[in-house]
Structure 1
Amino acid sequence: MMTARTRFGLAGALLLVLVAAGFASAFAVQRAGLKKLEHSFPTMGTGAAFTFWGAPEKAELAAKNGRAEFDRVVRACNLYDPESELAKLNRSAAEAPFGCSDELWVLLSEARQAYEFSGGAFDITAKPLMDLWGFYRRRGDSLPSEAEIAEAKKRVGLDKVVFDDEKQTVKFTVPGMAFDLGGIAKGYAVDQAAEAALQAGIRRGVIDLGGNLRLLPEPPPGKPFYRVGIRNPKNRDELLPEPLELRNASVSTSGDYERYVTIGKQRYGHIMNPKTGLPTQADYSVTVIAPSAMLADWLSTSVFLEGEELGERAEREFPGVQVIFSTAP
């Protein structure tokens, strides 16, 4: 596990960007007979971007199918669409067991693994706390009281949910509980889009969903790897030193510097600690390199909340995982 230190006041970042110097030149692309296709669009409350190199028809098919994968995950997991499968689950699972599709069950099974591995730090039932603190709807200028936090915590905890693995059903044991898959669905969508690109015959490219990156197996033409820089959140025009040099990997960063709410002139980061009922206020970020984007997604959040000991354990227990802490000097 690495700890990154830099001259900047905070060495954390929430957004990973591809370093321009790591991209292939137009000459190398032309010489290889490849087309570089770039496609960007908004989704899941953030921005998505595909960069592919390949035969034009394959690159275009990869972009089309990758976007369709994102759209499918949105239809299943959108909290704000009353017709999404997740919204239907949240409305009814306190009354009766809710039968899940195979895809939603994959996400919930991964979330259960994340909850167990993190000792409850990664918890998809934290929505009542997020609501209380105003992350979904502006709260105002008053902080939640200890009584309000305690009341919300009664509706938080994956241990309060009954899962039937044989029937693929979910039952909430406490009324008012709800799932929020925002900390895992983005990584899952990136993995699905990557698989769609590979099936279309594209092996060079990058899928980026709000800083959740998947780098395909082969690097840009004329380059041995992709260079990935961690952006300085205090200055969007600056990157931290020593960019990552990777291929065939996923990368995700968690921190509380860019997404936050302000209550009474105090800023509170968007990552909620379900154990304390308080949002984070940390001076570091955590970047995770992993074989899959979904694993990198939830591991970065978990390690950000729990610290270096969990990061060391993640590197021991998950093959191909590397954890990097970026801290203030």
Structure 2
Amino acid sequence: MFPVIFQTIFHRFTTLPFTLASLILLFSMTACQSQSFEPTKTTLFVFGTMVDIAVYDTEPNIAEQAISQVEQTFQTMHHEWHAWEKGGIVSKINQAIARKQSIEVPKSVKNFILTSQDLSQKSQGLFDPGIGSLVALWGFHAEEWQGPPPSDQQIKHWLENKPSIANISFKKNQLSSQNSYVQMDFGGNAKGLAIDIALASLKKAGIKNALVSIGGDMKVMGSKNNQAWSIGIQNPQNLNKALAQIALQDNESIMTSGNYQRYFEWQGKRYSHILDPNTGYPANSFSSVTVIHNDATTADAAATALLIAGPARWEAVAKSMGITQAFLIDTEGNILQTKAMAKRVKLL
């Protein structure tokens, strides 16, 4: 599905954190031995955040061509999958649903929506890309929040209609929804998809050692200077310091959701952009959740779901989503983690 997705996929990436507000910081490592080639690196601003691509142990011309292909893919995604900009595929889907019309979509788009539906079901409905109308109600679709927050009555009205990605159905490639309140917004997992696509593209080009980071969420391939990739987990209460360190292995992704990454304050209260579909209000139990998984799309969705789940439900949701490695920080700074994660994390 990747070649087709390269031409069609994007979403509203402006919900992503800027690099300075990212939970994940890449630690520099000293090479244990000399390399045949200097690393090839590039940084660009796309999806509303900083994107870093680094290729190691590769002839510069090959690395540059491979990176250029990823850049072109990201630019196409940025244009096509912007949830709130006319002309993109998500915008067209949302307009059709609002008009109670069906719309034909590319097979790759259908596959991604089906994948997202499956992830939503496994998350017990906590991860749900069908709540774009709730995102708009809170004003998080705008570049700058204008306020005030929605009234309790507005939230109640939205909950009465309860739009969900589960309301999407297909007849072949014809997409439709009986719930006209459904509006798609893939801010919860499309950056993971973009990272998966980028690594697949680099691998196809013959690259064996690389890292792709979007706003600090990342996936690696191979190693860095013949060593594992050393990654830091940022302290939500002190953004200039790492709270923990972990060695990322080949084909692993590390994705984080945080309630401080994008938010607004109103009358002394902070409102996070991560919204609970069951209440209509921002999640506020965890400050951050970091998930490691081979599939970045899954890790991205799971990080969002676990943050919404809170202390009482996160373990059950992690199990149902197949997540064995999670690192969570509550609003008091307390750390919770899975047993598999605890074996790997080094607290600083």
With structure 1 as the length reference, what TM-score do the two structures score? 0.86
Q: Secondary structure at the match of 1:240?
A: strand
Q: Check conservation: 2:210, 2:223, Cα contact below 8 A.
A: yes
- TM-aligned CA deviation for residue 109 of structure 1: 0.9
Question: Relative to 1, partners in 2 of residues 1:140 and 1:67: Cα closer, same or farther, differing over 3 Å?
Answer: closer
Cα deviation, residue 14, structure 1: 4.2
Q: Residue 230 of structure 2 contacts residue 245 of structure 2 at CA under 8 Å; is this kept in 1? A: no
CA offsets 1:71-95 (integer angstroms, 9 cap, x no match): 2322331113311111111111242
Question: Where does residue 23 of structure 2 map in the other structure?
Answer: 15
- What is the match of residue 258 of structure 1? 261
Distance 1:311 1:210 in 2: 26
Q: Distance in 2 between matches of 1:158 and 1:33?
A: 51
Structure-1 separation of matches of 2:198 and 2:147:
41
Q: What residue identity is the alignment partner of 2:152? A: E
Name which of structure 1's ranges 205-214 and 138-147 shifts more when overlaid on structure 2.
138-147
Q: Are 2:66 and 2:201, in contact at CA under 8 Å, matched by a contact in 1?
A: yes
Could you list the per-position Cα deviations for residues 231-250 of structure 1 after superposition, in whole angstroms to 9, with x for gaps in the alignment? 12333321113334433201
Shift of 1:125: 1.7
| 1:41 counterpart = 2:44 | yes
Partner residue, 2:297: 294
Question: 1:158 and 1:175 mapped to 2: Cα distance?
Answer: 10
Larger relative contact order, structure 1 or 2 (CA cutoff 8 Å, min sep 6): 1
8 Å contact from structure 2 (residues 163, 181) kept in 1? no
8 Å contact kept, 2:39–2:54: yes
Q: In the TM superposition, what whole-angstrom CA distance separates every residue of 1:5-35 from its partner, at most 9, and x where no partner exists?
A: xxxxxxxx84312111x3537xx4xx33123
Deviation of 1:222 (Å): 3.8
**Which one of the candidate residues 186, 195, 210 is aligned to 1:190?**
195
Q: CA 1:83 to 1:155, structure 2 compared with 1: closer, same or farther past 3 Å?
A: farther
Quote how far apart the aligned CAs of 1:284 are: 3.2
2:259 pairs with 1:227: no
Which runs of no fewer than 5 residues in structure 1 stay unpaired?
A: 1-12
Alignment partner for residue 75 of structure 1, among 75, 79, 88?
A: 79
The residue type paired with residue 187 of structure 2 is G
Q: 2:214 maps to what in 1?
A: 209
SS of 1:248's partner is: coil
| Aligned pairs (5 A) from 1:1-329 | 14-20=22-28, 22=29, 24=31, 28=33, 31-53=34-56, 54-93=58-97, 94-137=99-142, 140=146, 142-158=148-164, 161-164=167-170, 166-216=171-221, 218-223=222-227, 225-307=228-310, 309-311=313-315, 314-315=318-319, 318=322, 321-327=324-330, 328-329=333-334
CA contact (8 A) 1:233 1:258 kept: no
- Paired residue type of 1:69: T
What CA distance in whole angstroms lies between the structure 2 residues aligned with 1:238 and 1:155? 43
How far has the Cα of 1:260 moved from its partner?
Answer: 0.5
Structure 1 residue 299, shift from structure 2 partner: 0.8
| 1:77 maps to amino acid | W
SS in 1 for 2:75: helix
CA RMSD of aligned residues (A): 2.3
Runs of 4+ in 1 over 6 A off after TM superposition: none
* 1:303 CA drift (Å): 1.3
> Gapped runs of 5+ residues in structure 2?
1-20, 335-348
Whole-angstrom CA distance in 1 between matches of 2:195 and 2:139: 28
Contact 2:124/2:317, CA 8 A, preserved across alignment: no
